[in-house]
Structure 1
Amino acid sequence: MTEEKEIKVSKTDPDSGYMIRDGKPEGFFYLDHRTVDAKYNLITDVHVTPGNVHDSVSYLSRLDRQQERFKFKVEAVALDSGYLTTPICHGLKNRNIFAVIAHRRFHPKQGLFPKWKFIFDAERNVYVCPASHELNYRTTDRKGYRQYASDSELCKTCPLLEQCTQSRNHRKVVTRHIWEDSKEWVRNNRLSKSGKQLYRKRKETIERSFADAKELHGFRYCRLRGLHNVREQALMTAAVQNMKKMAIHLDRLERRG
């Protein structure tokens, strides 16, 4: 019998979601997922969800909505580490959009080798461990992860066993998503010269946009309860910010003229 995951529901605002994130306060919140353009820092999309909805869930659908509605020709995007998922990397690559996504650090169990120590040989479809032993393909699970397993008979006598796995059968298993190539493509983008320049630009655009909303427009707290009301506040705040941006831009053009 499988246990059902308990979902906390607020008694005062059932539309909100209970959020638990590193470095963030824990509790019932809403999240504003917004998009800004790199040239003028105008907000092009606002989407509000309960706090327990991951950033990446609605990203591709919101991106497609903007392209269809406004006829945007999106050439490149810069995202934080919360969007570093295989489906998003695959989706952006298929859309021919240059994607730069911040690196997310995964911490292996203390004393064990990190995954990057296991080298993937694409031609032979095997992983090679730090002791130069092969992990052969075994199966693919329902989530699209291929499993590569070591030979337990070889692992038993390996001097690196304690640094490799704690499994009782002495077998090391490494997983690789069927779209892992897309994730590696994003990583190469991030390390490129143009990718580094694009990501630096992110601090001046989306981060600045959120900071201005909180500090200058009272967007640190929801004024009313309910998803509909919070969405209205988010849209009104974005509209005011855009008006200010347009006024500043028009003033600069007039002065140049």
Structure 2
Amino acid sequence: MKNGQLKPGYNVQVGTENQFIVGFSIHQRPTDTRCLIPHFEQMWERFGILPQSVIADAGYGSEENYSWLAHEEIEAFVKFNTYYQEQTKRFQNDISRFENWIYDAERDEYICAGNQRLTFRYGRTVKTEAGYSSKKRYYQCDACGTCPLKNQCTKSKNNRQIGVSVTLQEHKQRARANLTSKRGRKLSVQRMVEVESVFGQIKGNRGFRRFLLRGIPKVTIEMGLVSVAHNLLKVAASLA
């Protein structure tokens, strides 16, 4: 979008297999996160089938999406927003990240880098725009004022407080296991030559960078024609 400018446009979601477009959907949202579930719901309405597994980048790694995929029994190879950061020494040495702290399951407390305990204070349920309920547990420390590491841990003048979604942490753990598995690594490499090359063909080689029509129904038809043309050209190339 270049410097965060607000511009009229559509968010096109495309699913591919062997670089053939097997499904697409059009959205009026600037980010990908809220497009995943509607995309698959449209695919179900059109074809009555969902994929057995999905590989996607970090733009789709939300608690809501993970939970929906798990409910539909779709194996998720989906990164979350801090997936790559977690693998860096900077992240791993950051004492302000609760992910690097010790969790005492018996007492339901977090132990920070300063060996101080954050105790559970209250829970809160937050609903997304789509109606998904995320339950968060909030923990707070009572001894930050005397901790020599406070300036490295928080900029707040008060004691440190964190909010943790247990469900999201469980989904992240499964995502790490899937993505670091032999199959996960193979699919991650495959994704780069799958959908990225399809967009490259459509936008770069064939010059389709702007919709000529307006309104989701008309744009859907236009993208449908582009998708059919792309698939036919793939078939023709394989027969040449």
- Structure-2-length-normalised TM-score: 0.80
The yes-or-no answer on 1:61 pairing with 2:38 is yes
Partner of residue 214, structure 2: 225
The 1:25/1:231 distance shift into structure 2, 3 A limit, reads farther
Aligned to 1:202: 191
Match of 1:4 in 2: none
Alignment partners' CA distance in 2, 1:68 and 1:225: 23
Match of 2:138 in 1: 147
What amino acid sits opposite 1:86 in the alignment?
E
Contact 2:40 2:50 in 1 (8 A): no
Unpaired segments ≥5 residues, structure 2: 127-134
Q: Is the 8 A contact 1:87 1:179 kept in 2?
A: no
Displaced runs of 4 or more, over 6 A: none
What code does the residue aligned with 1:184 have? Answer: Q
TM-align CA RMSD? 2.7
d(CA) in 2 for partners of 1:188 and 1:21?
35
Identity of aligned residues (%): 25
Tell me which residue corresponds to 2:130. none
**Aligned equivalents of 1:21, 1:125: Cα separation in 2:** 45
* Secondary structure of 1:146 counterpart: strand
Choose from 157, 160, 166 the match for 1:172: 160
More helix by share: 2
CA contact (8 A) 1:148 1:175 kept: yes
Shift of 1:104: 2.2
Aligned-partner Cα distance in 1 for 2:37–2:12: 15
Give a deviation string over 1:64-105, Cα, whole Å, max 9, x none.
Answer: 443464343522111111101111112222322221123424
Q: Return the letter of the residue paired with 1:186.
A: A
Q: What's the counterpart of residue 61 of structure 2?
A: 84
Task: After TM superposition, give the deviation of residue 131 of structure 1 in Å.
Answer: 1.6
CA contact (8 A) 1:127 1:136 kept: yes
Which letter maps to 1:179?
Answer: T
Which of 20, 30, 34 is the aligned partner of 2:10?
Answer: 30
**Partner in structure 2 of residue 125 of structure 1:** 108
1:18-38: per-residue Cα shift (whole Å, max 9, x none)? Answer: xx687x76533221111112x
Equivalent residues of 2:27, 2:35 under 8 A apart: no
Please say if 1:102 is aligned against 2:79. Answer: yes
AA at the equivalent of 2:52? E
Q: Partners in 1 of 2:54 and 2:182 — Cα distance?
A: 15
Paired AA for residue 43 in structure 1: I
Q: Find the aligned partners of 1:31 and 1:69 in 2 and give their Cα distance.
A: 19
Q: In structure 1, what is the Cα distance between the partners aligned to 2:151 and 2:215?
A: 52
Change (3 A) 1:125 1:245: farther
Instruction: Please give the alpha-carbon distance, in whole angstroms, between the structure 2 residues aligned to 1:156 and 1:238.
Output: 60
Q: Residue 124 of structure 1: CA displacement?
A: 3.5
Measured against aligned partners, the alpha-carbon deviations of 1:208-253 in whole angstroms (never above 9, x if no partner) come to 111111023332122233333322221111111112223345x28x
Aligned mates of 1:138, 1:26 — CA distance in 2: 40
- In structure 1, C-alpha distance between the alignment counterparts of 2:234 and 2:215, rounded to whole Å: 29
Paired residues, number: 223
Whole-angstrom CA distance in 1 between matches of 2:95 and 2:172? 23
Give the structure-1-normalised TM-score.
Answer: 0.76
Q: Is it true that 1:75 corresponds to 2:52 in the alignment?
A: yes
Is the contact made by 1:44 and 1:66 (CA closer than 8 Å) also made in structure 2? no
Q: Which residue of 1 aligns with 2:28?
A: 50
